[in-house]
Amino acid sequence: MKHPDDNLAEVPGQVFSPGQVSSSPSVGGFGASTGSVSAIMGIERHAPVSQAASSEPEKAPVAPVSTPKAAASASAYDDSTPLAREIAEMTRRRRILAGEDLPLPSAPRVFTVANQKGGVGKTTTTVNLAAALARSGARVLVIDLDPQGNASTALGVEHRSDTVSVYDVIINDEPMADVIQKSPEFEALYCLPATIHLAGAEIELVSLVAREQRLRTALDKFLDESPEPFHYVIIDCPPSLGLLTINAFVAAREVLIPIQCEYYALEGLSQLLNNIKLIERHLNPALTVSTILLTMYDSRTNLANQVAAEVREHFPKEVLDTLIPRSVRISEAPSYGQSVISYDPSSPGSLSYLEAAAEIARRGAPA
């Protein structure tokens, strides 16, 4: 009687005996046992090796010959990919900043960071430029004139509702020296915090004498009496053109305008410039637009490039060469009570703000 597994002997290149194959029950209805299926699959995966091929001695792999030229090319940067080029460029920019000592101004430079459009990066620019300048050795004071108090949050200073703040300086004539707090960010970085009470200051200022001069009077007195000189004062404004912003314009000597690289950011620019001219004519003849900073720049979009080119065409002297890119790290830093300069010093956003601060320091105050 013929054994069920005798048919396997007919498979080419291999001979089986009945004892080599398991006689377990068939699987899947194919009429073959589990052992038979495994054996057949093994034959299909491993083709039989001819006797001639197996008799040849196996050659040892040849090691590649290393030459000085090959070693040099392996150690050099591979700039064939966009990521590699970006890393090499960032490394070059960091080396330039590391080897540069920024000049300090002989007299305090007072900036107002203003733009009546919200969400263009006023507070972010204020905080990170101040941190970058303080990191370079300058003594910097940030005045948070926005009722939201975001600059105070980012610099890690106390600004609860019961905290003595810039509101008390403007409305109640509190000495500025008694209100200023030192930021934990850097040793030479200070902040005049804002609280929610500042939201009602616009109405209260209406009835006060010299309502547009309140901040300037307090600031000039503080700078004159400060035992150690401040090099920079940066005022963060609310997204409006009310009395708080007017106080900031009157107190400042220079205006820094952050412009988001989108179409809507350009629409209100002419109105802002007209208001600055009115204040220059009637309240502060020394006021000038010295700096324009392009923020939230995305080089992948044509719109961002077009907006940047248009702004540079109209304001060739005021626009900084540095562009602030869109960066997750810049957005994350305030939630930790930090600027991006200390939160992630190696990020592209931190590097860009350091370059912007260096550019402002090199330019100096306008004549």
Read off the pLDDT of residues 294-314 as tens digits, 9 standing for 90 and up: 999 988 889 899 989 999 999
Superfamily of domain 110-363: P-loop containing nucleotide triphosphate hydrolases (3.40.50.300)
Pairing of strands 232-236, 109-113: parallel
Q: Is the pLDDT of residue 334 over 70?
A: yes
Q: Give the confidence band of 95 by pLDDT, cuts at 50, 70, 90.
A: confident
Which amino acid would we find at residue 130?
A
Q: Is the pLDDT of residue 41 over 50?
A: no
CA pair distance 314, 307, nearest whole angstrom? 11
* Mean pLDDT value across the chain: 81
Instruction: Residue 129: name the closest of 202, 203, 232 by CA.
Output: 232
Instruction: Residue 218: name the closest of 207, 229, 206, 210 by CA.
Output: 210
Only one residue has tokens 């004549």, namely 367
- Poorest-pLDDT segment among 78-82, 97-101, 218-222: 78-82
147, 198 in Cβ contact below 8 A?
Answer: yes
Q: Is the pLDDT of residue 330 over 90?
A: yes
Q: Give the confidence band of 132 by pLDDT, cuts at 50, 70, 90.
A: very high
Q: Is the pLDDT of residue 77 over 80?
A: no
Tokens standing for residue 13: 């290149």
